[in-house]
């Protein structure tokens, strides 16, 4: 019964993760326009302007010329942030870069471990087994170091502790539990054979006996997969929208464009808060057209 539960719950966790993530992506993409940051330099800009912070608007008659840019450059910049956490290294003053990098690479290598375990159930090669061992051991070791290190760092640094909510500790400790269980289950067995057997049982719907520690590792991991898209950890996809649609969006608005239609729609939203200069019951556009100057003086 427990073996069948782990098989079915594995499929359930994966399906729910993909479905909820897709739904959240849709909701974020369809959300009202955010206030653009327009912080330069932007990576999609061409040539030297990409480096010194220039803009296509420097050119004469820029509005009449076709926009030139590189979405690939944006993905390269995002990749540097995702895999190197360069902004954490450059701007975070609390010294969490190496620990955060270790934890994130534990996650990335953990995803690679899952992929290798799937491949090993299709192709059996000694070299592949060795690669799985190296990737898996590195994933669990780095993840354990990073997650537990961040818990200690956040708890002992007085300034950082002020910015750490209980949910942050909860998330880090849950991740640390997954990494520690994975590391111990691997160390006791000396291989990922049992882990590979579980993945095989999920793929083929053929129950296989598992060591309790391996079964617990996957159960805790799958529970986290279910939890992840409902949590603040959705930055695994939200980062794209933050960068592309807010930080780097410098496109000008043209009449009748999709953006223009969204702006017109949002300007018709009623202002739902009050202040001395706000006219009650008016839209944003009406507030801008008829400011309550007398109210401001009062």
Per-residue pLDDT at 292 exceeds 50: yes
Per-residue pLDDT at 293 exceeds 70: no
pLDDT value for 187: 97
Q: Residues near 164 by Cβ (< 8 Å), separated by ≥ 6?
A: 154, 155
Per-residue pLDDT at 108 exceeds 90: yes
Tell me which residue has tokens 């070791």: 141
Per-residue pLDDT at 134 exceeds 50: yes
Q: What is the mean pLDDT of the chain?
A: 91
Greatest Cα pair distance, the chain, in angstroms, is 80
Mean pLDDT of 22-31: 93
Tell me which residue has tokens 């997969």: 225
Per-residue pLDDT at 1 exceeds 70: no
- Our separate counts of H helices and E strands in the chain read 14, 0
First to last CA, the chain: 72
Mean pLDDT of 10-27: 97
pLDDT digits (tens, 9 = 90+) for 159-216: 899 989 999 999 999 999 999 999 999 999 999 999 999 999 999 999 999 999 999 9
pLDDT value for 246: 84
> Are the C-beta atoms of 20 and 229 separated by less than 8 Å?
yes
Tell me which residue has tokens 């961040």: 150
Task: Give the separation between CA 123 and CA 120, rounded to whole angstroms.
Answer: 5
> Are the C-beta atoms of 218 and 6 separated by less than 8 Å?
yes
pLDDT value for 38: 77
The residue with greater pLDDT, 194 or 236, is: 194
The CATH architecture one would assign to domain 2-247 is Up-down Bundle (1.20)
Task: Give the separation between CA 216 and CA 206, rounded to whole angstroms.
Answer: 19
Mean pLDDT of 85-94: 92
Mean pLDDT of 32-61: 86
pLDDT digits (tens, 9 = 90+) for 269-290: 999 888 888 888 889 899 888 8
- CATH code 1.20.950.20 region(s) in the chain: 2-247
Task: Give the separation between CA 272 and CA 297, rounded to whole angstroms.
Answer: 21
pLDDT band at 39 (very low <50, low <70, confident <90, very high): confident
Per-residue pLDDT at 132 exceeds 70: yes
Nearest to 12 by CA among 234, 228, 226: 226
pLDDT value for 279: 83
Chain center to CA of 4: 31
pLDDT band at 298 (very low <50, low <70, confident <90, very high): very low
């Amino acid at each position: 019964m427990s073996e069948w539960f782990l098989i079915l719950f594995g499929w359930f966790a994966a399906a729910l993760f993909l479905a909820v993530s897709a739904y959240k992506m849709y909701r974020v993409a369809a959300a009202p326009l955010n206030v653009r940051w327009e912080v330069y330099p932007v990576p999609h800009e061409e040539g030297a302007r990409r480096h010194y912070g220039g803009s296509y608007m420097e050119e004469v008659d820029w509005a009449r010329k076709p926009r030139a840019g590189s979405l690939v450059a944006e993905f390269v910049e995002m990749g540097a942030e995702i895999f190197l956490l360069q902004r954490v290294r450059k701007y975070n003053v609390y010294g969490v870069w190496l620990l955060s990098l270790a934890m994130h690479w534990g996650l990335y290598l953990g995803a690679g471990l899952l992929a290798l375990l799937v491949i090993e159930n299709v192709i059996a090669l000694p070299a592949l087994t060795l690669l799985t061992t190296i990737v898996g051991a590195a994933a669990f070791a780095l993840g354990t170091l990073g997650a537990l290190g961040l818990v200690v760092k956040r708890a002992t640094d007085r300034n950082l502790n002020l910015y750490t909510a209980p949910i942050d500790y909860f998330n880090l400790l849950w991740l640390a539990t997954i990494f520690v269980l994975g590391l111990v289950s691997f160390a006791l067995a000396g291989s990922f054979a049992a882990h590979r057997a579980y993945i095989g049982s999920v793929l083929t719907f053929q129950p296989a006996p598992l060591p309790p520690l391996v079964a617990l590792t996957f159960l805790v991991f799958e529970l986290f997969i279910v939890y992840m898209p409902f949590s603040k950890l959705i930055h695994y996809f939200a980062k794209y929208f933050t960068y592309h649609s807010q930080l780097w969006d410098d496109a000008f608005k043209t009449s009748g464009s999709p953006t223009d239609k969204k702006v017109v729609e949002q300007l018709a939203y009623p202002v739902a808060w009050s202040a001395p200069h706000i006219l009650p019951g008016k839209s944003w556009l009406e507030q801008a057209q008829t400011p309550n100057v007398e109210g401001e003086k009062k």
